Amino acid sequence: MEMNGLAPVPDSYDYDLIVIGGGSGGLAAAKEAAKYEKKVMVLDFVKPTPQGNSWGLGGTCVNVGCIPKKLMHQAALLGQALQDSRKFGWQFTEEVKHNWMTMTESVQNYIGSLNWGYRVALRDNKVTYENAYGEFVGPHTIKATNKRGVEKLYTAERFLIATGERPRYLGIPGDKEYCISSDDLFSLPYCPGKTLVVGASYVALECAGFLAGLGLDVTVMVRSILLRGFDQDMANKIGEYMKEHGVNFIREFVPTKVEQLEEGTPGRLKVTAKSTTGDQIIEEEYNTVLLAIGRDPCTRNIGLDKVGVNINEKTGKIPVSDEEQTNVPYIYAVGDILQDKLELTPVAIQAGRLLVRRLYAGATTKCDYVNVPTTVFTPLEYGACGYSEETAVEKFGEENIEVYHSHFWPLEWTVPSRDNNKCYAKIICNIQDNERVIGFHVLGPNAGEVTQGFAAAIKCGMTKEQLDNTIGIHPVCAEVFTTLSVTKRSGENTLVSGC
Amino acid sequence: MAALRRARRGAGSGLCRTLRALSGKKNEYDLLVIGGGSGGLACAKEAAQFGRKVAVLDYVDPSPQGTTWGLGGTCVNVGCIPKKLMHQAALLGSALKDAHHYGWNIAQPVHHTWSVMAQAVQNYVKSLNWGHRVQLQDKKVKYFNMKGSFSDPHTVRGLTKAGKETIVTADNIVIATGGRPKYPTHIAGALQYGITSDDLFWLKESPGKTLIVGASYVSLECAGFLTGIGLDTAVMMRSIPLRGFDQQMASLVTEHMESYGTKFLKRCFPTKVEKLESNRLQVTWKNTDLGTEETDSFDTVMWAVGRAPDTKTLNLETVGVKTNSETGKIIVDASEATSVPHIYAIGDITEGRPELTPTAIAAGKLLAQRLFGQSSELMDYDSVPTTVFTPLEYGCVGLSEEAAVQCHGSDNIEVFHAYYKPLEFTVAERDATQCYMKMVCLREREQRILGLHFIGPNAGEVIQGFALGIKCGATYPQLMKTVGIHPTCAEEVTKLHITKRSGLDATVTGC
């Protein structure tokens, strides 16, 4: 791959770089390229959902992902805080109700400010932005079609595909007509009411979690396991907690049809589901059905065949080199559409920025996809970095790993007397490599804040010994990691007693 | 080294020991711990794990106001635990305000009842006292609720509240008696009318309009939560806040507290406290900036002007345990040994050590392991992280900017910094002006991180993992390679890139 940091741009191209997709990865790359005085264009377009929903510049994270998700999760947490506060001496009316519209309006206003902020940032960085759907029509050439159907052609020396993904539908009668997805939930102009969430992804569990926290009757329908790909020990604990906190679970069933009983905002829907292990059929009525069974990359209708970019035909994902280059040398890709990479905003941003620095600033640093930390914002949050217990056992052998673990009780939960011995900390160490910590898992409040620093330490190659030598901050949840002593192997009790 | 110490030992104690050895009388315990706080209990329980015969003496002299408490020491009874719980009560007050932005309908007004909170906190603390008693029992550690004082290097005289005496002998003795709040006794009325943190957490009734004198973290944390639960609170500081901490961060902390509603009487010191007919307290003070004398009345005056070790009644001179003449703290070496063989000291009472529960616990455990477990591992006091639980929390590890400049020179350090806004503040329309973080690094190629400072919600949770990273010798490039978790506050640490030196705007912009 040749680097083009200093050679002048051939006059024949309209742009140095055209970015298709104005989400986390695309915008980060575009702004970075503009820093090196490159002529950059961003094409961003949101095809409306089956329910007719659309949104502004910024991609999934800003509009229908991380941001609204975390804000609604916060709303649910505040509901719990209200209950706790009475035990801490606060007094107010017994009857506390949640108003969906107030919350959604606040959230949407904030998102609107972010959309606006991105438009301004692009303008300030002299990046050309068009709200148009981009697709390749030939080498170095892209067609941009706007909302009104007006088409324009543009050429660029290089392209970055960052079109992300959209929620998958079940392919059963009534799914597109009556069901919603995460693309619709965060701007729903009415309270969803009694909700069925179909799926066991983090999207499903996070949404089910906050909907229940806001006081709604929520059921999660799971085909097989929870949080596939995550540590299953932790996944099950998350499910247990949600069950104990009022979320209903229907395990080993899949919906076969969705019918509308009554129109409305919300309406009434009848869901028929079939068991995956037998012949049993069940029916139930809900106001809303939220599908969260997975996401599909937006790579099928952007003309990749016209320029010869290979995609995985089954999944639609784009395989890239460790420098985010596709099989076509002048076409790169970042973000959720990449094969075998994590679907996370910070990863997309990091990859996008580093790619651009390599292209235009003579840098050599590649994106480090190893030990990327993540957090699932379920009612009991789960932060993780590195190997799950299963993959560690698979890779290193059970006899070569040591798992240290402990339950803990956040001090703030003692006075309201809730959830003792639900929070849990676990690290996985490689015995053959100085007990190097290869997996970090925490289930508890503020899991993301806790996990971040440990992820940095894992990058520095932390060992169990170094962990033990670190003094804890008292009294916080994170300190539990500095005093882990019970191993899973020993079978000893990890339930908490006192200070 | 040990031999040298033995040679230097006073003749008196040596004679005593020899006599006892000659008479064949064995010491009753392998280990006696004086002080049942964080350090003491950790040490005792660890020693018991090795099958040793261990005893703990714990006794709480009532405060001048008459407050006393059970087993567990400062942290459990009048420190970390009740402090964090009351801080949480205050934070929940803010949460109540945020909640309506998030759609929760709560009829105003909302008000706070001290006694409900205090009772809940006190009940929890009592359960911890009980838990500690049970733990000692389970581990077969003998517990005496007695005040100890030395008779000789292996003998301690314990006195119960009723005056009953018990003599305890031990091969090894660990002093872990901690500290107590200081009273500014030179100020008229200070002792009679003022309270300290020893009393605050045990008050049955609300302290009402409160003046806290002092600029320590104790002062600011208490003032913070009192303000948060709706009380009219003022802090009187003679000079700078949080002496010893990074001063830029200290200023941000107090700035936030001011916007939060705490009144600050800066560069003032009190001259007298008098009781009014209404039972309120009239405080007179000097404003050194204006050169004036001012006065106001309060329901409660709390002193938070520092803590001092309680060593007078231990009879340390009798056995020759050396203390620092200025601070009164016990001088120890890297193995927590005092100037007298077989007498050790850990925790707040030791000179030059951080006054923190986790360091006391770690030191206590390691000491027990060295004494009875054939370990030679010494306590590492380097890069101990800590958090100040003010309304906007401040967590830090490593060097302050001042200390780094002093140590390495400002040309040799690089400070990366950022002002950020927690996502949860956006919808809640909360002011994030003081949400700030900075990382102090060495400028040379490797760019090793010398210090990390973070102000924001959940500061302790944020800093803990990074403290570990710093223990592993983390460098700036390594931190930059770490991918952030989104959306959190902590991820901003991995994105720090604006240097102070550049003079550029350090405000974090969009996603």
Would you say A243 is a known binding-site residue?
Answer: no
Name the fold adopted by B29-180+308-373. FAD/NAD(P)-binding domain (3.50.50)
Tokens describing residue A265? 């905002």
CB B240 within 8 A of CB B215: yes
In CATH, what class is A381-490? alpha beta
Q: Which of residues 461-500 of B touch A (CB under 8 A)?
A: 461-469, 471-474, 478-479, 481-491, 493-494
The predicted pLDDT at position B118 comes to 98
Comparing alpha-carbon positions, the chain A residue that sits nearest to B39 is: A499
Contacts of residue B494 in chain A, CB cutoff 8 Å?
452, 456
Residue B347 is classified by DSSP as: G
Name the fold adopted by A15-63+103-164+298-361. FAD/NAD(P)-binding domain (3.50.50)
- For range B137-152, the mean pLDDT: 96
What's the pLDDT tens digit per position in A6-19? 444 446 899 999 99
Residues 6+ apart with CB under 8 A from A193: A216, A217, A266, A286, A287, A288
B98 interface with A at CB cutoff 8 Å: yes
Q: What is the pTM of this model?
A: 0.93
Q: Do domains B182-306 and B392-502 have the same CATH topology?
A: no
B75 interface with A at CB cutoff 8 Å: yes
B387 interface with A at CB cutoff 8 Å: yes
Q: At what angle do helices A66-87 and A202-213 cross, to 10 degrees?
A: 40
Q: Which of B98, B472, B483 sits opposite A78 (nearest CB)?
A: B98
The predicted pLDDT at position B511 comes to 52
Cβ–Cβ of B510/A118 closer than 8 Å?
A: yes
Instruction: Report ipTM for this prediction.
Output: 0.92
Mutation target to probe the B interface, by most B beta carbons within 10 A, among A216, A460, A492 is: A460
Closest-CA residue to B26 (of B17, B35, B34): B17
Contacts of residue B128 in chain A, CB cutoff 8 Å?
498-499
Q: List the catalytic residues of B.
A: 486
Cβ–Cβ of B487/A474 closer than 8 Å?
A: no
The predicted pLDDT at position A496 comes to 75
With cut-offs at 50, 70 and 90, classify the pLDDT of residue B19. Answer: low
Give CATH 3.30.390.30 domain extents, chain A. Answer: 381-490
What's the pLDDT tens digit per position in B56-110? 999 999 999 999 999 999 999 999 999 999 999 999 999 999 999 999 999 878 9
What's the pLDDT tens digit per position in A330-340? 999 999 999 99
Compute φ and ψ for B442, nearest 5 degrees. Answer: -75, 145
State how far the alpha carbon of B34 is from the alpha carbons of A211, A498, B9, B60, B150, in Å. 53, 21, 22, 12, 10
Would you say A69 is a known binding-site residue?
Answer: no
Q: Which of B81, B471, B483 sits opposite A470 (nearest CB)?
A: B471
What's the pLDDT tens digit per position in A114-166? 999 999 999 999 999 999 999 999 999 999 999 999 999 999 999 999 999 99
Strand partners, B444: none
All structural domains of chain B with their residue ranges: 29-180+308-373, 182-306, 392-502
Contacts of residue A106 in chain B, CB cutoff 8 Å?
101-103, 427
Element of type H or E holding B292: strand B292-298
Cβ–Cβ of B103/A344 closer than 8 Å?
A: no
Cβ–Cβ of A481/B115 closer than 8 Å?
A: no
What's the pLDDT tens digit per position in B333-388? 999 999 999 999 999 999 999 999 999 999 999 999 999 999 999 998 988 999 99
B92 interface with A at CB cutoff 8 Å: yes
The predicted pLDDT at position B26 comes to 87
B122 interface with A at CB cutoff 8 Å: no
Contacts of residue A499 in chain B, CB cutoff 8 Å?
38, 72, 75-76, 81, 128, 131-132
Would you say B217 is a known binding-site residue?
Answer: yes
Name the fold adopted by B392-502. Enolase-like; domain 1 (3.30.390)
CB B274 within 8 A of CB B281: yes
Which CATH number is associated with domain B182-306?
Answer: 3.50.50.60
Give CATH 3.50.50.60 domain extents, chain A. Answer: 15-63+103-164+298-361, 168-293
Residues 6+ apart with CB under 8 A from B292: B286
Question: How far does A488 lie from chain B, in Å, by closest CA?
Answer: 20
Name the fold adopted by A168-293. FAD/NAD(P)-binding domain (3.50.50)
Compute φ and ψ for A286, nearest 5 degrees. Answer: -140, 160
Q: List the catalytic residues of A.
A: 474
Cβ–Cβ of A78/B116 closer than 8 Å?
A: no
Question: Please, is B351 exposed, middle or buried when counting C-beta atoms within 10 Å of its C-beta (0-12, 13-18, 19+)?
Answer: middle
